[in-house]
Structures are given as structure tokens and as C-alpha cells.
Amino acid sequence: MGSVAFGEAINEDSGSEKSLKEVSDEEPSIVNTSFITPSANTHHSSDPGFTDSFHDTGSNQPHHKKSDAAQRILFVTTEITDFVKVGGLGDVSSALPRALAAHHDVRVLIPAYREMIHSEYEIVPAGHVPAFAGLPACDIGRITCSDGLILYVLLCPELYDREGTPYGSGASGYGDGQGEGWVDNDIRFARLSRAAADIALGQADLDWQPQLLHLNDWACGLAPAYLHWQGHPVPTVFTIHNLAYQGLFNASRMAVLGVPEDAFHIDGVEYYGELSFMKAGINYASQVTTVSATYAQEITTPKFGCGLDGLLRCKAEQGRLSGIPNGIDDSWDPRTDSHLVQAFSCNDWRGKRANADYARRFFGLNPSQGPLFAVISRLVHQKGLDLTIEAAKAIVHGGGQIVFMGCGERHVEDALRQLSERFPGAISAYIGFDEYQARSLFAGSDFLLMPSRFEPCGLSQMYAQRFGSLPIAHRTGGLADTIEDGVTGFLFDDMQFESYMRAIQRAFAVYKSTDLFNAMRGAAMAGRYHWKQSIVPYSKLYRVALEQLGNETTLACQ
């Protein structure tokens, strides 16, 4: 592909066609707060028992006084940023249960990884789950976090006490049983799912029993299925964070996982001859959610549905599929974040500049007056790194610099290393992830490059906006829902180099116009994508799932 020239090709006014919001440093306004997908709300709209008691109380402390509508929720996950994080699921699992805990009794179930066993936290014996099919018996421990959040950790050292990520020895993402995933991932995550089902049924010797399971991604997908096959109608909410990772395993593994033979068909867990954990979760959960309204609609189409779009369309028609956006937690505040070399706020651009200087020094870039672009991402196909690599030369020739931070697919890591060697002082590749430096980079950069092919929600673009770094992103999924084109960032429509370059050119043009650039940064920083906005929709959904009990006539999708 040819490169797109800067200079005369740049339209000075291209970023200003839309009027900017008035911005206030002291009281940031809330933007884009309503994302519940309109096409999938047949159950939600009725919501007979739901009251305003869930509205913002200003507290996210677990011991906040709960309303009568409080529910006991077990949030089941494979990552939590407090201990182990591969990507966005870790952040969500750390923040969402805490936000919900102001209104519900929310506890978390997660495997006891090495990071927990060797942490400073005491693990108190709490329960036990029996062996099942080829799944070993294991103990359950309890960790009480410093803010009171209770984690139940599944103690099974032969499955979980390993060097590596929750999913495998490599770093390329969610390891769905293929590639670099652990060879026993089917057993590892069936064990987690079965433990969740046992806890829900009061069969785990715990002194606590949830009313509802909130399950996350393919690794928890068998939990609703186990409950269904046993004939126990425990309500379940299954959240898809990324449909592309499905947990596909050989059908010969069914017996060892305790999956009944007669469930292996197109309306059960079979996916083109393999066993799909993701399909099990979608098929048997009371409610399915994903993490933005746009992605909830997209996954019902062949383009984004990963072969499950027919099933998801059926769920949407049944009112069992909805989109609830992720948020970001209070720690993402440039005025108070202790990770930053200098705190800053809207219109305090000297403070932001200090973070840029630090980032340039830390990542080995030359001093520069040009724009600093950041890429903070898992390095996987989804994230469109190939487009950014193609655009890099033009960005550097236009006077820009780029820092890449992330790890993932080996060939992408290699390509980034080569790029940084080709453009020393202008491009830096940090292969790995460091929360501290990531925050400095969000704070120091002028623009975040995020040309994702698809993006269920995306957190990085929200972090960037909060820190006054304008995202340049593909108009898809949660990116489309959380970035206002020409106001808080730049969106492009086609996943094509030329289209991406036009958005980058617009960013360069805005950078040249100080007033416009500052107004956009202010608008971006004023957007508050707080988790509090998710409490009401999740609470409604929990209520709907509880009320569905005993009324399961529409579960099957033929």
C-alpha cells in the first residue's frame, strides 16, 4: 500500500466540523451513558420489581448498607487485576464486583493461581468441592481483600499453581485450548465451572450460597450447562468479553469433563465437530450479556458472530442478549494518580507535558515538539497492529513518535522490534506490560492508536481519554460507543489503511491547532465512563434472571 503524505495533504479544519462540548475542569459532565442495546430489551423494559434504590449512592465499599433488593451474586472469573491480569477481563473483574458490592452481596470465585498462593494475603479454609467425572476434588479458600471484597479461590495446585498466564505458557491472550494454551485447559476450566455450579447448589461446604452466578467468558461456559444437565434451575448471567476466544476442545474429552453424550448436537455444545465452552455458556445461561451495545448487535451478524451469530440472534429474539458497557474505576484520575510523575487536570497542560517528557526519556525517544502516539495493547490480530505498523513510517515522517507497549503474538513482537530499530529515537517497542509505565504513557501521550478489527468494549480508549490522550480508532463495538468523532477522538469506518491514515491526518491537523487540540483534550477528559453507570443495568438483569426461574419454556434455540 502507498503511504499517505502529510504537510499539504492535511486539512487544518478537518477535526473541527463538530462543535465541541463546553468543558469544566471541576465538574466533568457524563457523556455516552446509555448503552443498553435497544433491540434486546424485551425482558428489561418490563422490570416490574426494580426500583430507584440502586441509583448512585456515591459509595463502592462492600459493607455499604444494602437495599432489600440486594442479591447474593457469585462472580466467576479467570483474572483479577489485584493478582493476575492478561487483559481487560482482569480490570473488569477487579472493578465491577466492587462497584456492585455497594448494592449486592458480591463475592468472586477464581482459581488459586501461584500469584495468590504466594501473596501476602492469608488464605483461610472455606469449603470443598467433590470430584466429578475426571475433575479432581479440591478445597476452597477465602481471601479477604483489604477493602473487604471476598475472593473464593479454588485450591487445586496440580491445575493452577504454575509459572505462566492463567491460560498458557505464552502471552498471546486468552489461550482457548489452542496454540500456546495449557494442554489441560479443558480440565482446568471445567473444574472452575463445576465448582461454581456446586457452590450455587450449596454443595461446597461454604457458609454462603449465592442466588445467582455471574460468569465471564468461555472458561466459565460449562457452569450453566452443568446446572441445566442436573435439572437445577439456578439463574445465571453469562458475559461475553470476547467471542473470538471460544474454548474449543476435542469431542473425545466429553466423558472426562462430565458432558453428557446427548448434549453433543447443534442445539447443545457441539461446534463444527468440537466441544465449545463458549457455546455452552450462551446456550444454557438465563441471560447473556456483552460489554457494549454495539458489540451486542454486531455479534448477531455473520461478520462478527464467529459462527455463533444464529444462536445469538435467537437469544436476542428471546430477550436474553443485551449489552452493558464497561466502565473505569476511580483510580484513573490524572489529578490524583500516584503513578504519574506530575498530576494534571484539564487545561493544566504543563503537567501533561511533564508526563510526556518522562515517557520520552523512559522509552528512549528523542526530545520533540511533535505529537506522541501510544499503542498499549495485547499484540494480537484483533487489535489491528498490522495497520499501525504500516502507518508508522508516515507518522514518523510527519514529525510524530510512537511508543508500543504490549506482548502477544511472536511475529507482531518481532515486527515492532524491527520498527524501533529502523526508527531509533522516534519509535520505541516495549515488549511486555507494566501497569506503572502504561499509566505514564496514557498520561504522556497525545494520541492512542487503536485500530481494532473488532472491540467488544475496550478499556484503553477510555483510560486514554481520561488522561487527555485522544484515541484514533476503528468505528466498531465499544469504540464506536465511547468515542465521539471529532470531539473526544477520531473514528474511521473501513478497516483499510487509507481510511486509518485519514484519521491520523486529522489528528495531526488538530495537533497543529492548539485551541482545537486543547478543547478536544478537555472534552475527552470530561467523559466519565464510571462503573456506577453499570450497576442499574446489571441489577435489572439479575432481577430478570431470578424472575425467569421456572419459566424456561423459551430456552431452546432451534
Among 21, 44, 85, 360, binds ligand ADQ (CB under 6 A): 85
- Sheet of strand 124-129, all strands in order from the earlier edge strand to the far edge: 124-129, 138-144, 150-155, 105-111, 72-76, 212-216, 236-240, 287-290, 321-323
Q: Does 489 bind ligand ADQ (CB under 6 A)?
A: no
Residue 197 or 380: the one with the smaller Cβ distance to ligand ADQ is 380
Question: Quick one: three-class SS letters along 392-410?
Answer: HHHHHHCCCEEEEEECECH
Q: Is 238 helix (H, G, I), strand (E, B) or coil?
A: strand
Choose the binding region for ligand ADQ from 34-42, 84-92, 150-158, 548-556 (rule: CB under 6 A). 84-92
State in angstroms the smallest separation of the CB of 329 from ligand ADQ: 11
Q: Does 294 bind ligand ADQ (CB under 6 A)?
A: no
State in angstroms the smallest separation of the CB of 439 from ligand ADQ: 8
CA distance 512 to 302: 41
The DSSP string of 104-169 is SEEEEEEE--HHHHTSSS--EEEEEE--BTTBPPEEEEEEE-TTS-EEEEEE-HHHH--SS-SSBS
Helix/strand number for the chain, H first, E second: 18, 18
Choose the binding region for ligand ADQ from 280-288, 327-335, 422-430, 455-463 (rule: CB under 6 A). 455-463
Q: Does 456 bind ligand ADQ (CB under 6 A)?
A: yes
Burial of 509 (0-12, 13-18, 19+ CB in 10 A): buried
Among 275, 312, 376, 526, binds ligand ADQ (CB under 6 A): 376
State in angstroms the smallest separation of the CB of 205 from ligand ADQ: 32
Single out the residue of 306, 303, 296 nearest to residue 276, CA to CA: 306
Q: Does 459 bind ligand ADQ (CB under 6 A)?
A: yes
Choose the binding region for ligand ADQ from 127-135, 265-273, 312-320, 453-461 (rule: CB under 6 A). 453-461
Among 14, 16, 283, 326, binds ligand ADQ (CB under 6 A): 326
Helix (H) / strand (E) element for 264: namely none
Among 21, 43, 188, 378, binds ligand ADQ (CB under 6 A): 378
CA distances from 179 to 254, 409, 410, 480, 485 (A): 20, 11, 12, 31, 37
Q: Does 457 bind ligand ADQ (CB under 6 A)?
A: yes
Residue 300 or 482: the one with the smaller Cβ distance to ligand ADQ is 482
Q: What are phi and psi of 336, to 5 degrees?
A: -130, -10
Q: Is 376 helix (H, G, I), strand (E, B) or coil?
A: strand
State in angstroms the smallest separation of the CB of 406 from ligand ADQ: 4
- 65 marked among binding-site residues: no
**Touching ligand ADQ, residues 381-410 (CB under 6 A):** 406-407
Among 89, 282, 389, 541, binds ligand ADQ (CB under 6 A): 89
Choose the binding region for ligand ADQ from 22-30, 85-93, 267-275, 353-361 (rule: CB under 6 A). 85-93
Q: Does 91 bind ligand ADQ (CB under 6 A)?
A: yes
Binding site for ligand ADQ (CB under 6 A): 85-89, 91-92, 241-242, 291, 326, 376-378, 406-407, 433, 438, 455-460, 478
Name the binding residues for ADP-alpha-D-glucose: 85
